[in-house]
Amino acid sequence: MRLNYRVIRHTISIILLIIGIAMFFPIVCAVYHDETVPAQGFFFSSLCCVGLGALGIRFSRYKTTKIKAGESYLIAFIGWISVSIIGTVPYLLSGCGYSLSDSIFESVSGWTTTGAWVIPFETLPISVVLWKSITNWLGGMGLLLLAISFFPVLGAEGQKIATAEMPGTAFEKLASRTSQTAIISYVIYIVMTALEFLLLLPTNLTPLEALTNTLSTISTAGLLNVNNCINLHMNTYTKLIFAIFSIVGSVNFVMYFYICTGKWRKVFRNTELRVFLGFILVGSIVITGSLYFSGGHGSLLHCAEDAFTQTVAYSATSGFEVDNLNLWPSLAKFILMTLIICGGCGNSTSGSIKIIRVVIFFKLIRRGVYKRIHPRAIKPVMLDNHPVSTTTASNVTVFILLYFAVFVFASIVMSLENQDMETTFFTVLACISNNGTGFGKIIGGDFSMFSPFGRFFSAILMLGGRLEFYSIIMLFSPSFWNSDRVRS
Amino acid sequence: MTVNYKVVLRIMGILLLVLGFSLIPSLVVALIYKEYNCVPAFLYVIIPCLVPGFIIAKNVNRSMLKMKIRDGYLVVAMSWIVASFIGALPFYFSGSIPSLVESFFESASGFTTTGSTLIPDVEALPRSILFWRSFTHWLGGMGVIVLIMALFSSLGVSGQLIASAETPGPTMDKLTPKFSDTAYNLYRIYIVFTAVETILLCLGGMSLYDSLVHSFGTAGTGGFSTYNNSIAHFSSPYLQWVIFIFMVLCGINFNLFFVLKRRGLKEMLKDNELRFYLTLIGATACLIYMDLMLTDTYTDPSACLRDSFFQVGSIITTTGYATADFDIWPTFAKMLIFLVMLTGACSSSTGGGVKIIRVLVCLKLIKRGISLKIHPNRVVPIRIGEKEISQEVATGIANFVFLYVFTVFLGSLLISFNGYDLVTTITSVMTCLGNIGPGFNLVGPTCNFHFLSGFSKAVLSLLMIAGRLELFTFLMLFSPHYWNSNRV
């Protein structure tokens, strides 16, 4: 298959430019905190990125070419791989002697908004921490989306790329031009980020901590500087802000657009949103009850607060902990596990199977039972008063099967690390759902116990989870590379 | 149109007769071993079964009744519940199992050929009781054959639909013209296997009693043993290999044995499901062997090979016999065991689980889904061997897998109230739903289910029955559409 070099070159150039500009902030931070080596590292990489990016854009011809369906996945994949590799550079140049596999892990964990770590935060230079949170923020909404919004030259083809990158069943257009849709999404994103930052300023977090945590919570990555479930800076107000803005980040962004344009009814009637909020509500209540009745967790209010924050953290695939979850009762842990698997809403920054697919999953089961009783009945699956097309139902089915197949296969590979079964399962789940944490030894997002192979494999799983697997699996399919080949 | 209760009543009557007569061998065993305190326990059950059974069978005239699909579902579900209940009574009356819920669990475990036990010390129980316990396995296996041949085919449950539609060549569509002939033939295979295995085991040095008991367990792929450490009690390699071979044989699609008889081995080996099944056993066993030898868990290669194959064969056919405690194996080996727990045996066999053919179809669905992402306009049918699977059947299979996953989640949620760790909770549900027997951690091969609460035991018993009946048959009864067909 002939790769569409023009589009790939163009896309990567844009990405380089954006990253180069984004690196500006850590430079300022490094200079402010007297971290000379990281500052030099950032400056150097920033210069290279901006330079190469600008050159690439300058010399690419402004001609739209058609992208075939499969190619968009390749572009998304290449885009994310390059982004991950470039993101590694600051870690390597920070002068702290981080190994390549560690840097790759941290970079991928940042961009895919997973939030897992192998290098403890206390030892990271502050500018690198800021860089990590910036990668979270950009990766949450999608770097390609940003690329598309700035360069409408990609035109209608941009939608295909966006669909390949954006998680969910379909990329909904908010405006007639894809580039405008992308811009609108980003504007909403920036507004929400600013709001959260302002709300966090009055707490006892330093402004820098507030900024890094804002960037990482709105992108549902996790929390930084507050790891290993230490409750140091966390009072009720802070926890609530984190929780609320994690929800904000994991709601379908189209909903915000509807709110802005006054279509309130559409928002209230949206099944996915209602189910998502319903899961959080029910989950919180059940976990509160479980914590309270198992004793030792304090007052009912304290249980409720922790239950709510934790439910939101896992449901939005943020992945932060407010307590030592390994000690929580089994029922609570099981519900949290189910919530990780369900994930957030489509078209948002969260990961995993996505609520809309879970809803369709249940409706398909119900229809299956009904059809056994009345085999000749014609009963379509309805969602928000629209019938779900066969293609969508089929895609959802395949995706869920693929998710479980990847889970089983990855668990087998991961088990070579010889951790106990619970840890292995949750490691895989944490990666493919981009949650970043789980039960067992990886609690708090600590992946440092794994060998370089384990870390590398986890990084691949994280990418797979973010890109919803197809991009990666397609590379292994012979019919992708040679479309003339007929295979059954 | 509602359920025809007379038909149901008549079949219940016949069931009572069958149960009453099948208790007689156990009574004979009690007399042989001079366990006179068990004799009344059996008599108290035999007589109340035979008498009403005769009365019902005589009075409800067969010629007036036609059975419909709707009745079939109720009959099937009720048979298993009634059989489990009546089968529990000898345990309860003889005092071997003090509580009624536990007796029901053990009996259900017998009839559904699961093999999970909650008896702490098996060797302390009277022989006649243990004989009845294993005989329920044999009856359960026979019951499965009736299910396969009689009801599943007319109910259109995936298992039989697959066997008739998907097995290779025109020879499979109709083995013999009359249903009763086909059933008779399948019973013949079943009895022959049991008899041959008993003889081979006797020749290997097992007592007649032990040979019979373990052959019952193998033929029905159940897994109850008369010893606390299961087959590990017998150190003879010959015996272990014999049991292994028969376990694998009983996990094969019984219809294929006719292909073997009529058309020879080559034709039989063309079956895709059989190939996948055997390859999976071979591959996983070899990988486990390598892992165990490389990690020095075993030092003796032949014992290692034997144990690897035995454990894999036992779990994949959902028998549940054990020659080694795989819970202490390295994680990689445990993961592979987990994998075969998920797949289960071939369809139309006495084994349980999701069934190999469904796993095959799902894998092909995934492959097709990926192919369609690359080339959305392609038309790709799903093929097993040379036969094509219709969209209806494929959807039905995907539906089944979804329902299975959902049932595992629901069951685990209920069991998690007990407060045990997640691996125990989830594998206990998986092992009961798949009719396997052992799980991991606290329900591992050297443990038993005694520690769970009464509620959990009841839930697990129902799960066993639901799993045996391939879910839909059982869950149908909870749908209001079933009881009132006029309801939309």
State the complex-level ipTM. Answer: 0.89
Tokens of A367: 């229809």
Q: Are A400 and B402 in contact (CB < 8 Å)?
A: yes
The whole-number pLDDT of residue A227 equals 44
pLDDT of B176 > 60? The answer is: no
Which residue carries 């190994």 as its tokens?
A: A99
Partners of residue B389 on adjacent β-strands = B382
pLDDT of B481 > 90? The answer is: no
Distances (CA, A) of A283 to A220, A279, A287: 19, 6, 6
CA A263 to chain B, closest CA, distance in angstroms equals: 33
User: Taking a C-beta distance cutoff of 8 angstroms, is the pair A169, A357 a contact?
Assistant: yes
pLDDT digits 0-9 by tens, B48-94: 888 888 888 777 766 555 666 667 777 778 888 999 999 999 999 88
The whole-number pLDDT of residue A157 equals 60
The whole-number pLDDT of residue B186 equals 79
Chain A residues touching B441 at Cβ < 8 A: 421
Q: Are B476 and A369 in contact (CB < 8 Å)?
A: yes
pLDDT digits 0-9 by tens, B382-419: 887 777 778 878 888 888 899 999 999 999 999 999 88
Q: Are A70 and B423 in contact (CB < 8 Å)?
A: no
Q: What band does B447 get if pLDDT is binned at 50, 70 and 90?
A: confident
Chain A residues touching B440 at Cβ < 8 A: 421
- Burial zone of B296 (CB within 10 Å; 0-12 exposed, 13-18 middle, 19+ buried): exposed
CA A474 to chain B, closest CA, distance in angstroms equals: 7
The whole-number pLDDT of residue B149 equals 59
The whole-number pLDDT of residue B160 equals 39
Q: Are B402 and A361 in contact (CB < 8 Å)?
A: yes
Distances (CA, A) of A270 to A252, A265, A345: 10, 8, 11
Chain A residues touching B402 at Cβ < 8 A: 361, 364-365, 368, 397, 400
Cα A319–chain centre separation: 11
pLDDT of B178 > 60? The answer is: no
Q: Are B332 and A405 in contact (CB < 8 Å)?
A: no
pLDDT digits 0-9 by tens, B232-260: 888 889 999 999 999 999 999 888 887 88
Chain A residues touching B396 at Cβ < 8 A: 368
Residues of chain A with pLDDT under 70: 1-4, 60-70, 144, 146-178, 225-234, 479, 482-488
Question: From the candidates A373, A423, A441, which should be mutated to test the interface with B, based on the most B CB atoms within 10 A?
Answer: A373
Which region holds residue A265: left if phi is over 0, alpha if psi is between -120 and 50, else beta? alpha
Chain B residues touching A294 at Cβ < 8 A: 419
**More confidently predicted of A486 and B191:** B191
Percent of chain B clearing pLDDT 70 (strictly above)? 88
Helix, strand, coil % in chain B, rounded to nearest 5: 70, 0, 30
pLDDT digits 0-9 by tens, B256-285: 887 888 888 888 888 888 999 999 999 999
The whole-number pLDDT of residue A8 equals 78
Q: What band does B192 get if pLDDT is binned at 50, 70 and 90?
A: very high
Among chain B residues, the shortest Cα distance to A364 is held by B399
Q: Are A364 and B402 in contact (CB < 8 Å)?
A: yes
Tokens of A476: 């292994």
Shortest CA distance to A29 belongs to which of A118, A110, A109, A132? A132
Distance CA B452, CA B454 (A): 7
Shortest CA distance to A169 belongs to which of A385, A434, A355? A355
The whole-number pLDDT of residue A230 equals 43
Contact map slice: A 308-337 vs B, CB within 8 A = 329-331, 333-335, 337
For A373, residues 6+ apart whose C-beta sits below 8 A from its C-beta are B476, B479, B481, B482, B485
Say if B373 is an interface residue toward chain A (CB within 8 Å). Answer: yes
pLDDT of B177 > 80? The answer is: no
Q: Say what the pTM is.
A: 0.90
Contact map slice: B 147-206 vs A, CB within 8 A = 156
Shortest CA distance to B349 belongs to which of B473, B221, B193? B221
Which residue carries 């013209």 as its tokens?
A: B177
CA B455 to chain A, closest CA, distance in angstroms equals: 15
Partners of residue A446 on adjacent β-strands = A117
CA A479 to chain B, closest CA, distance in angstroms equals: 8
Q: Are A397 and B398 in contact (CB < 8 Å)?
A: yes
Chain B residues touching A412 at Cβ < 8 A: 332, 335-336, 339
Largest separation between any pair of C-alpha atoms in chain B? 74
Chain A residues touching B366 at Cβ < 8 A: 398, 401-402, 405
Q: Are B475 and A398 in contact (CB < 8 Å)?
A: no
Give the residue-averaged pLDDT of B301-308. Answer: 91
Helices (H), B94-236: 100-111, 127-146, 153-155, 158-166, 179-203, 208-219
Q: Are A374 and B481 in contact (CB < 8 Å)?
A: yes
Tokens of A63: 């001609």
CA dihedral B424, A354, A258, A278 (to 10 degrees): -20
Say if A70 is an interface residue toward chain B (CB within 8 Å). Answer: yes
Contact map slice: A 395-424 vs B, CB within 8 A = 395, 397-402, 404-405, 408, 411-412, 415-422, 424
For A264, residues 6+ apart whose C-beta sits below 8 A from its C-beta are A258
Q: Are A373 and B472 in contact (CB < 8 Å)?
A: no
The whole-number pLDDT of residue A488 equals 43
pLDDT of B430 > 70? The answer is: yes
Say if B283 is an interface residue toward chain A (CB within 8 Å). Answer: no
CA B273 to chain A, closest CA, distance in angstroms equals: 18
Say if B339 is an interface residue toward chain A (CB within 8 Å). Answer: yes
Give chain B's mean pLDDT: 84
Chain B residues touching A416 at Cβ < 8 A: 331-332
Partners of residue B388 on adjacent β-strands = B383
Say if B297 is an interface residue toward chain A (CB within 8 Å). Answer: no
The whole-number pLDDT of residue B427 equals 94
Chain B residues touching A372 at Cβ < 8 A: 156, 472, 476
User: Taking a C-beta distance cutoff of 8 angstroms, is the pair B335, A412 a contact?
Assistant: yes
CA B52 to chain A, closest CA, distance in angstroms equals: 32
Say if B383 is an interface residue toward chain A (CB within 8 Å). Answer: yes
Q: Are A408 and B370 in contact (CB < 8 Å)?
A: no
